[in-house]
Amino acid sequence: MKRIAVIDGQGGGIGGLIIKALRERMGESIEIIALGTNSTATTSMLKARANKGATGENAIVWNTPKVDMIAGPLSIILCNGMLGELTPRMAEAISSSPAKKFLLPLNQEQVEVIGAAKEPLPHLIEIIVSKIKEECDV
């Protein structure tokens, strides 16, 4: 069974949408670990049916090397992303993890990914879920 960490901050809305869509498409065939930069984000992702969740810097640093895939917004690999909630240590741990990363090109940090399609959020969620499902079927 593949282990997928969904990482989010602030209100956990993006992470919650990713988890909900993964559950709808893949059911219980995957283990989803919700990793929030704060307790509100973690709670939101747990309500979306993550298997388990943890909050904060140490939880993210500890868990990211132990999963097969990581999903979330682009901000999770940017030092001080998410209005400062994402610490440099978190960004380093996520970026350095051997897990395959699936990142949505959404952020508030004045970073533009050239060539990334400007799609509405529901389309981006569908794309990320399709890519994760494809990776799990391999």
**Would you state the pLDDT for residue 138?**
52
Confirm if 6 and 18 have CB atoms less than 8 A apart. Answer: yes
Confirm if 41 and 8 have CB atoms less than 8 A apart. Answer: yes
Say what the pTM is: 0.96
Spatial separation of the C-alpha atoms in residues 102 and 7, rounded to whole Å: 11
Tens of pLDDT, residues 98-113: 999 999 998 777 888 8
CATH of domain 2-137: 3.40.50
Tens of pLDDT, residues 55-98: 999 999 999 999 999 999 999 999 999 999 999 999 999 999 99
The number of CA neighbours under 13 Å toward the Cβ of 73 is 25
Q: How confident is the model at residue 122 (pLDDT cuts 50, 70, 90)?
A: very high
Tens of pLDDT, residues 4-54: 999 999 999 999 999 999 999 999 999 999 999 999 999 999 999 999 999
Q: In what order do the strands lie in the sheet with 2-8?
A: 52-55, 30-36, 2-8, 69-73, 100-104
- At 104, is the secondary structure helix, strand, or coil? strand
Give the residue extent of every domain in the chain.
2-137
Which amino acid makes up residue 130? S
Judged on CB neighbours under 10 Å (0-12, 13-18, 19+), 54 is middle
